Structure 1
Amino acid sequence: MKLLMPYITGGVVPGWTAFLDAFEDAGADLIEVGLPFSDPTVDGPTIQEASDAALARGATPTSVLHDLAEARVGIPLVASTYANIALRPGFGDALTTAGVTGLIVPDLPLDELDGLAVPGVQVSLLASPATPDDRLAEIGRRSQGFVYAVSIMGTTGERDRLAPSAVTLAARLKQVTDLPVLVGFGISTPEQAGEAATVADGVIVGAAVMRRILDGAGPAEVGAFVAALRAELSRGASVR
């Protein structure tokens, strides 16, 4: 089965954890929860807008993790944040208390990974189309849970077609790791998700989900979009 991980910026709207239930009900396998950050480096305009909205509402990493601790979600939660937050003392304990089992830190250099103290939390590493083969192999060895295949050079965001580099990168990663390879950055439609999953083990969908939430869609409507992604991934897997 192909894996599906939708993304949501924590604290983006009142009652935001209701979207977690909708994602689970729609067939998501994991959920990525972004901790709002004031100076993101890899997030495109949509995720930046969501982060700004969450910060304007007073959301903090602490408040988002508190909300997660009170939520009752039956699938794994993966937090994503930047090194400035992730390297703070006690961050790993806060993740565990919140029930988070995975972590993505896109701006943490591989050489500084040993300084990340998050025992019991799986740290998934990112690889891009420009990652050289030797570095790609090291990422494959040291990643935990899954490897995040960044489909393009650039920032997150919706796109009208899947970059050819997405499938190429997924194929390269499959040669150096036994972990699931999930493609993210620019997966905007069910069709693009299905195309990426012809080689990858699943997809991560962020901006397309957040665009709907920012435009006022509720959990049921956004859940229907996630269900459409799930249906396409399941359909594609059944014919391959």
Structure 2
Amino acid sequence: MSDVQLRLENVSAGYGRTTVLRDVDLEVHTGSVVALLGSNGAGKTTLLRVASGLLRPDAGRVLVGEAEVTRVAPNARARAGVCLIPEGRGVFRGMSVRENLLLQIPPWEKDKSFDLALETFPALKDRLGELAGRLSGGQQQMLALSRAFLAKPSLVMLDEVSMGLAPVVVDQIFESLHTLASSGTALLVVEQYVERALQMSDHVYLLNHGQVAFSGRPSELDEDEVIRGYLGHELNTPDVSSAS
């Protein structure tokens, strides 16, 4: 049996006549943490949308485990263990925290308790009756991230979950990601904090203009090269000549 949770094979995708991803190959193995890095517009969010089923590729294949899911709907992929935490506050602002948590438990899960989310994010315990829209940005992100624990997925994909948060909240978010990874859940992480993403990752993919410019261990990357990419400069394939 394959230990690959997610595989993209020669995937090209875009919007209308605009091609964003070009011949992308990517793998996320069981229990691993994979960082997906690149400058703005490199195609990171588009790749996550293809992997989750929100966007159908123009070419190539998507596999979850050993099953091809290229044309499978997002809800079926979720049932297969795929969970996407999108950029922004993915909560129902007009509903209470309790109602949001209950909605995050999929119907096929026998355990209908959301205690695990409250253990992971204690700040939500005293706010169960509050409207989600009245929470702070950090608390809303914690609420959105709760789905990664309550849905019991085998693969969680995270798109800039620390965006716009205070440093102390970012620390709490990353602590929760470490907890998730230590439980054996595979993670595919798009993250603005490059250094922190590299520290927790087993493998890194670097996207440049929709193509994979680098694939390898974090220790093989020239971090300065990545930072220059985040500042909007042209990305070159990192120098790995000194890697062991």
Q: TM-score, normalised by structure 1?
A: 0.37
> Counting helix residues as a fraction of each chain, which structure ranks higher?
1
- Of structures 1 and 2, the one scoring higher in RCO (CA 8 A, sep 6+) is 2
Which structure: larger Rg? 2
